[in-house]
């Protein structure tokens, strides 16, 4: 986060908290706010099914080991999904990729699609040769099995683009977010139990998949329209969730105009100085910054009376106590701030969001209350985007910090008054995103009820 250059009129500008951030329709396909895009929350095993059929695909240059077996099974499974879905969504047959190639980035060099594989810790699709390739030496072993499947489902998303004729000259960010979205399509199919090879729980399993998108995000401070851009974790998770909740045609519609409207990826500015906590991060226990935070919360939720009392310590690092009281444990806030300042300030905003709900007579305990809290916290975040002249403003990487916090077991941003959360990071991130992209309190209080 950063200090705004101009803060004098922040309260006036931020009072209009129903203002929309473009990029997502206001209606939601969700059937139940306590579910994952309409599916029940499950916490079982994720990965290769016991007794799953062997893959009929072979990898050139492979070693036949466990990593290659998993990778070829993943590609075969994703191809099975697209062979089933392609005619339905695009009225044409899906042709399997021509070749799979495995390599060890630590071993002998292999020239592939004009690229040297030595030292290349990556997985990629090459349209010129219609090849999916992966590093079995360092990349895939660094992930758990279901995350490795996610990496390869993304690469197969590029093969889908090529078969649709959409790869071409599209900007990198469009290609990458379409591929994330197509991966979401596939994982919906797996979550519905339709894959004969893989299974994924909608709780812990999808959490792992979303954490993978965080791990392979662009670094904070890059421009979304730069060559090779893939997107922030927040933007990549958004694209994946579009695919999981909707059909492949939704993914094909992702274009630069849409991404421009909803992207949170931007370069650091002169105001994003490093004050000792990493570029763009503020000292979270600084009294002046906490006063600025409180000002932005009052502006985002006008008319809500909140009293601040450090003795209110029901949850960590910030708490809501009955009667409109919010408390902060500064030492605990600093510890959470090690993720980044937004994770810390977002936790405080979440307790303010509980106060907002209490003031409206809404339930403040239970799964739905926690989801409503995440949505309202996202709404607050939408009021401090750059250009709103708030006392604090979001800086590059802040919403990725929100993703990390929302995927954590003890997420407070998506917690009810007692800190209890829905056991699905996917659902938590989706609720936060609903508030951020619509900027509407009505969305939060009607969708999550």
- The answer to whether residues 1 and 341 touch, using CB atoms and an 8 Å cutoff, is yes
Predicted pLDDT of residue 390: 73
Domain range summary for the chain, segments of one domain joined by +: 2-24+277-447, 47-200+223-262
- Cα–Cα distance between 104 and 130 in angstroms, integer? 20
317 prior amide bond cis, ω within 30: yes
pLDDT number for residue 429: 95
Contact 176, 243 (CB under 8 A): no
Per-residue model confidence (pLDDT) at position 270? 56
Q: State residue 273's pLDDT score.
A: 60
Residue among 440, 326, 424 at smallest CA distance from 376: 440
Q: pTM for the whole thing? A: 0.86
- What is residue 1's predicted lDDT score, i.e. its pLDDT? 59
pLDDT at 32: 78
- Contacts for 24-30: CB closer than 8 Å, 24+ residues apart: 24/262, 24/433, 24/437, 24/438, 26/438, 26/440, 26/443, 28/434, 28/447, 29/245, 29/246, 30/245, 30/430, 30/447
**pLDDT attached to residue 29:** 42
For residue 134, list its beta bridge partners: 102, 123
Q: pLDDT digit string (tens) for 362-403?
A: 999 999 999 999 999 999 999 998 666 777 888 877 888 999
pLDDT score for 432 = 96
pLDDT recorded at residue 30: 43
- 3-class DSSP state for residue 263? coil
Residue 176 and residue 231 in contact, taking contact as beta carbons nearer than 8 Å: yes
Query: Which of 440, 409, 335 lies closest to 43, judged by CA?
Result: 409
Residues of the chain with confidence (pLDDT) below 70:
1-31, 167, 217-230, 264-280, 386-388
Give the pLDDT confidence score for residue 170 in this predicted structure.
84
Compute the distance between CA of residue 59 and CA of residue 88 in angstroms, rounded to an integer. 29
pLDDT tens for each residue of 392-440 = 888 877 888 999 999 998 899 999 999 999 999 999 999 999 999 999 9
Per-residue confidence (pLDDT) for residue 196, from 0 to 100: 97
Work out the burial of residue 366: count CB atoms within 10 Å of its CB; fewer than 13 is exposed, 13-18 middle, 19 or more buried. Answer: middle
User: What was the pLDDT predicted at 21?
Assistant: 32
């Amino acid at each position: 986060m950063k200090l705004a250059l101009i803060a004098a009129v922040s309260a006036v500008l931020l009072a209009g908290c129903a203002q929309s951030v473009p990029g997502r329709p206001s209606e939601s396909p969700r059937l139940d706010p306590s579910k994952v895009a309409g599916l029940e929350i499950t916490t079982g095993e994720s990965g290769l099914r016991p007794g799953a059929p062997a893959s009929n695909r072979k990898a050139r240059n492979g070693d036949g080991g466990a990593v290659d077996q998993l990778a070829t099974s993943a590609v075969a499974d994703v191809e099975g999904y697209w062979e089933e879905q392609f005619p339905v969504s695009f009225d044409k047959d899906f042709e399997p990729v021509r070749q799979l190639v495995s390599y060890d980035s630590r071993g002998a060099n292999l020239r592939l699609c004009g690229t040297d594989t030595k030292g290349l810790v990556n997985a990629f699709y090459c349209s010129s040769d219609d090849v999916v390739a992966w590093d079995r030496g360092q990349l895939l072993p660094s992930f758990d099995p279901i995350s490795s499947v996610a990496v390869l489902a993304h690469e197969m998303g590029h093969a889908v683009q090529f078969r649709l004729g959409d790869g071409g000259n599209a900007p990198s960010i469009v290609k990458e977010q379409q591929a994330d979205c197509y991966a979401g399509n596939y994982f919906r199919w797996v979550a519905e139990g339709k894959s004969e090879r893989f299974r994924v729980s909608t709780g812990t399993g999808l959490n792992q998949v979303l954490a993978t998108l965080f791990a392979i995000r662009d670094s904070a401070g890059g421009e979304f329209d730069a060559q090779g851009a893939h997107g922030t974790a927040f933007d990549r998770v958004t694209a994946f969730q579009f695919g999981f909740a909707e059909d492949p045609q939704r993914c094909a519609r992702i274009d630069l105009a849409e991404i421009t409207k909803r992207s949170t990826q931007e370069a650091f500015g002169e105001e994003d100085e490093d004050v000792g906590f990493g570029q763009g991060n503020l000292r979270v226990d600084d009294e002046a910054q906490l006063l600025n935070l409180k000002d932005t919360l009052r502006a985002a939720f006008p008319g809500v009376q909140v009293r601040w009392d450090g003795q209110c310590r029901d949850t960590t690092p910030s708490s809501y106590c009955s009667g409109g009281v919010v408390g902060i444990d500064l030492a605990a806030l600093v510890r959470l701030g090690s993720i980044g300042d937004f994770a810390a300030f977002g936790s405080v905003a979440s307790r303010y969001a509980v106060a907002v709900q209490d003031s409206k007579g809404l339930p403040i305990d239970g799964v739905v209350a926690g989801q409503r809290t995440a949505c309202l916290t996202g709404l607050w975040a939408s009021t401090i985007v750059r250009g709103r002249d708030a006392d604090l403003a979001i800086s590059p990487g802040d919403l990725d910090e929100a993703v990390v916090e929302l995927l954590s077991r003890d997420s407070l941003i998506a917690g009810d008054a007692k800190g209890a959360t829905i056991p699905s990071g996917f659902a938590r991130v989706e609720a936060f995103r609903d508030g951020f992209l619509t900027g509407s309190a009505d969305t939060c209080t009607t969708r999550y009820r």
